[in-house]
Amino acid sequence: MEARRLKAAGLKSVRSHWSTALLVCRKCSKRLDGGFGPKGRTSLAKALRKELGGGKDRKGKLGIIEVKCLGVCPRGAVTIVDAAHPGEWKIVPARQDIEEIVSALRLNR
């Protein structure tokens, strides 16, 4: 029924294997000039992709997408929105361990 409604509106659908999507503020990441990983030079999005195996393409198990400014602008941290919990945004301090971040976000590996 949903597919018919989309087709009638002229919209197409594309399948994805994502269980959720993480929106990572690009502006916060840029202000930190990295801030994550073993040497503190990796952006949060890149570190999460490496840890979780997620990516931008739709065939990954979750999507990690850098977006423009989310408007929170914390000092020394990056803002993340988990699409599975859109009412609860996370502020991730620089240099925090990626495994702790994954655990706090309750993401399945």
Domain with residue 64: its CATH number is 3.40.30
Domain region containing 59: 16-105
Specify the higher pLDDT residue, 30 or 60: 30
Closest CA to 13 of 27, 24, 2: 2
Number of domains the chain is built from: 1
Q: Is residue 74 part of a domain?
A: yes
Q: Is residue 100 part of a domain?
A: yes
Q: Is residue 2 part of a domain?
A: no
Tens-place pLDDT, residues 26-46 = 999 999 988 898 888 899 999
Give whole-number Cα distances, 67 to 2, 47, 53, 63, 102, in Å.
Answer: 28, 16, 19, 12, 19
Closest CA to 72 of 99, 91, 51: 91
Q: Across residues 67-89, what is the average pLDDT?
A: 93
Which pLDDT value is given to residue 31?
A: 92
